[in-house]
Structure 1
Amino acid sequence: MPASTEARNGKTPGKPPRVAVLADSDTRWKWGSLTASRLLPESAALDGFLLRGRATPTPRQLTEVGVRADSLHEVTAAEFLHRMQRDSASYDVVVLALVGGAVQAVLHGLAHAWQGEARRPVVVTGYVGVVYEKLADGLLLRHGADVVLANSRYDAERFRAVYEGVGADASSVTECALPFLGGAPYEAEHDPYTVVFAAQPSVPDTPADRLYLLNRLAQHARLHPEREVLLKLRSKPGEHTTHIEEVPYQKLAQRLGDELPSNVRLVYGNMGEVLDRTDLLVTVSSTAALESLHRRIPTALLTDLGVREALGNHHFTGSGCLVSWDQLDAGERPVADPAWVARQGVAADGTYEHAFDGARAKVAELLGRDRGPLAPYYTRTTAPGYLPRVLARHHLAPDGSPLPGAPAADKEAGAVRQIVRRAARGAYRHGVQRVAPVIRRMGEL
């Protein structure tokens, strides 16, 4: 009789699987932890690791995401790698929910940490939302993971084409969907009718463009006083997400003061809960648009600032959802093209519950056999002028080993070190949101 999957992997038969999720921001923690829950049984134990950096989520942001973890630790890359080397036999799956360069660094670090081991965890990575820029760059930095998740059929085809185009193994690319889609489908208008503008930290990035969008939101509220108009914000001033927000909408709203209509409100919280009361979702290119489309809520991608790669709204060409504020003010409600929606993995036809079947089967198949060492496309042979710089940012040598002077991996941070780290992050965020804009304005004089 063949041995069980647990026995083949050195696990105790019947013991629930265990997964480690390493994330570098609130949105990636949400993606990584929910992805883990989609790939593994409910009984799986989830250990969360937050990569220390400018976007390390605050307790409020973690609470807003609302994802359970059996343990949660803040770590450097070196500390995480030490933990994975020490406890590799304890984990079945490792999910890397990181920016591309960090994924590549950790992949090489894990390859070094696990060299010579007969068994190792399955490594999974992917993207938190719409992939509209740096396609080749981001994908090749993620190559080497056992599973590279694509959030739609469209993405899966593009991902495989990139890997095959450079002669890299494309078998890791696995089609699924965004793990946080859900909620009841939209059926009837609410009372009051509610318009939600989903803000983004860096799109658009100029103060003038952001103020323009806020003014148009206010104008829409004045034209429709019977409507409730919500400005859905990702973070509070001083907090960071995946992208830097130099000019928060909160500060622009304060600048408008009494000019902001009484039926406009700034809201935070879980996006799904906000969508529960939404009749029209408006954004430039936020992933919230896919959540909205999944629930069949009328969804508008703004063209006011152009349809441009820099804004990301070019991704929605063909969707039927590209409109301007003028059109929305006049009462237009976009109708999404069903074929486009289906191709983007939004699965508004009710098949979403099966979107992760293939990915679950892939992980189960990998857990049931020998996997060999991690083998990223980038090596000291294929990218000798690039890879060492990527690894050095995370205190790793070209072979993936920790550089001398890397943060101590075998010591818990003391109270003083934790206070210093929090103060340093606070100073960084203050510099980004207050000092940098002042310097830039002075330079324009």
Structure 2
Amino acid sequence: MESLPSVFGVPASTPASSTRPLRVAVLADSDTRWKWGALTAKRIAPEHGGASEIRLDGFLLRGRATPTARQLDEVGVRADSLREVTAVEFLRVMGAEEAAGSYDVVVLALVGGGVQAMLHGLKNAWGARTKRPVIVTGYVGVVYEKLADGLLLRHGADLVLANSRQDADRFRAVYEGVGADASSVTEVALPFLGGKPYAGRNDPYTVVFAVQPSVPDNRKDRTYLLNRLIKHARKHPERQVLLKLRSKPGEHTTHIEELPYQKLAEKLPGGLPDNFRLSYGNMGEVLDTTDLLVTISSTAALESLHRRIPTVVLTDLGIRETLGNHHFVGSGCLASWDQLDAGHEPVPDPEWVARQGVVADGSYATAFDAARDRIAKLVAATELPPLTPYYTTVTAPGYLPGILARHHLGPDGSPLPGAPAADKQAGPVRQIVRRAARGAYRHGVQRVAPVIRRMGEL
């Protein structure tokens, strides 16, 4: 097997066995999507001789949520090579003859608009080639909003992964409802479920509140939740209470966090109780010592349920679509802080849990079999048809061009004149300038923009 050219980063060495490892490229636009994309790549790799072999090349899409080194380290998923790129740079790499022939699978771990742009960009880059990588995409977690919009923006990939039986049914219904091909929908499970099952009470008993960057989205509600968590810590001094944070101030994840909880905590009168602390780090490691997981609607709830850890989805702010906790209706996990303070212990509904792809009964090991089989067949095919997204300049002439333009692509998926691209690795000075520019942009998004919005509301 030939080594990858230098543009791909670390060159691949020739394997000792005659079996060629699956070559996968993952393009991600945030830390959480990198985690989903990289772990999905490892889960869907067809097995050879009882073990899956994979070479993973990571590409981080340059933007407001490009993960920092600390965030990547916290995710803990390693790649054989990793580099930061613009959309046009990625397409240039994928469009090279050696890339189209070397990669078996490309995982698009992006927001919906990014997926659609890359589908059209790759279609343009590959032209009439019949030998191309298999394109895989999906969702990082619970799909509770913009179902039709997000799904149609992902249409055109060879596999659109659904994290549960319920999602697979909904996805197919949307595609079939607009007359689009639904055969790409493939049921799997969340790739990061796992870890040791809950074995009983820890010492000390540990309560973890897993926050979300964008829900709720206002100071009043976030301060309320923080105060209730602190009140719970004071009411139960024998317990350890953790505020599990997604990112540090100045960092962004999948969603923008304009009011970080750690900043709110600094301003609370009276200080914080001794049994209360802020927590960063890998969610799986935090769950290893968790006795009660509390959240608004985070995917962490599904990770917790998978391990059979007592899990609560809060109702204090109502059960509303804007919060996402409506997704947990029927789960048996809905409760308020008043109920928790009084000693309530949630009991999840087993049928609801099963429909969500949370398979704590041991069948998780087979959850990716259908995707593996399908990918193996597509990779082995002598040719694949061109990518055919549902959205085109015929079906969505007033929508698609704007989606593509945000990634510096024209209506046909070709790079627009003046699109940012680089033929070689940026030098030290350029890297410093890029970091400074991204830092200024993040400051504007997180600090300046909220102030301007508040002023506009006066």
TM-score, normalized by the shorter chain, greater than 0.5: yes
* Aligned residue in 1 for 2:442: 429
Structure 1 residue 146: Cα displacement: 0.2
Distance across 2 between alignment mates of 1:162 and 1:441: 37
Alignment of 1:338-357 (within 5 A): 338-357=350-369
Assess if the C-alpha contact under 8 Å between 2:165 and 2:357 holds in 1.
yes
1:337 corresponds to? 349
The equivalent residue for 2:249 is 237
> Tell me, what secondary structure is at the counterpart of 2:170?
helix
Cα contact 1:341–1:348 (8 A) shared by 2:
no
Question: For 1:270 and 1:257, how far apart are their aligned partners in 2?
Answer: 30
> The residue matched to 1:306 in structure 2 has which SS?
coil
In structure 1, C-alpha distance between the alignment counterparts of 2:223 and 2:113, rounded to whole Å: 32
User: Normalization by structure 2: what TM-score?
Assistant: 0.93
Residue in 1 that maps onto 2:410: 397
The alpha-carbon deviation at position 409 of structure 1 amounts to 4.1
1:134 aligns with 2:146: yes
Q: Does 1:83 align with 2:88?
A: no
For residues 137 and 444 of structure 1, do their structure 2 counterparts lie closer, same or farther at Cα, with a shift above 3 Å needed? closer
1:201 maps to 2:206: no
When residues 161 and 260 of structure 1 are mapped into structure 2, their CA distance, relative to the original with a 3 A threshold, is same
Superposition deviation, residue 259 in structure 1:
3.1
Q: Which moved more, 1:211-220 or 1:417-426?
A: 417-426
**1:221/1:199 CA distance change after superposition, 3 Å:** same
Is the Cα contact below 8 Å between 2:130 and 2:386 reproduced in 1? no
Letter in 1 for 2:152: L
List aligned pairs for 1:282-293, cutoff 5 A.
282-293=294-305
Check conservation: 1:218, 1:264, Cα contact below 8 A: yes
- After superposition, the Cα gap between the structure-2 partners of 1:216 and 1:358, relative to the gap in structure 1 and judged at 3 Å, is same
Q: TM-score, normalised by structure 1?
A: 0.96
Superposition deviation, residue 267 in structure 1: 0.6
Gaps of 5+ in 2: 1-13
1:215 matched to 2:227 = yes
Question: Would you say the 8 A contact 2:86–2:421 is kept in 1?
Answer: no
2:39 aligned partner: 34
Question: Could you tell me how far apart the structure 1 residues matched to 2:319 and 2:60 are?
Answer: 35
Give how far 1:430 is off. 1.7
- Equivalent positions of 1:6-405 (< 5 A) are 14-40=19-45, 41=47, 42-86=52-96, 87-256=99-268, 258-369=270-381, 370-405=383-418
Match of 1:5 in 2: none
CA offset digits 1:247-306 (Å, max 9, x no partner): 000100100154321111001000000000000000000000000000000000000000
Q: Which residue identity does 1:220 align to in structure 2?
A: H
Indicate the RMSD between aligned Cα atoms, in angstroms: 1.4
Give the superposition deviation at 1:233.
Answer: 0.3
Change (3 A) 1:162 1:444: closer
Question: Alpha-carbon deviation of 1:413?
Answer: 2.1
Aligned residues: 435
Which amino acid counterpart does residue 246 of structure 2 have in structure 1? R
The amino acid that maps onto 2:405 is A
Alpha-carbon distance in structure 2 between the residues aligned to 1:315 and 1:373:
36
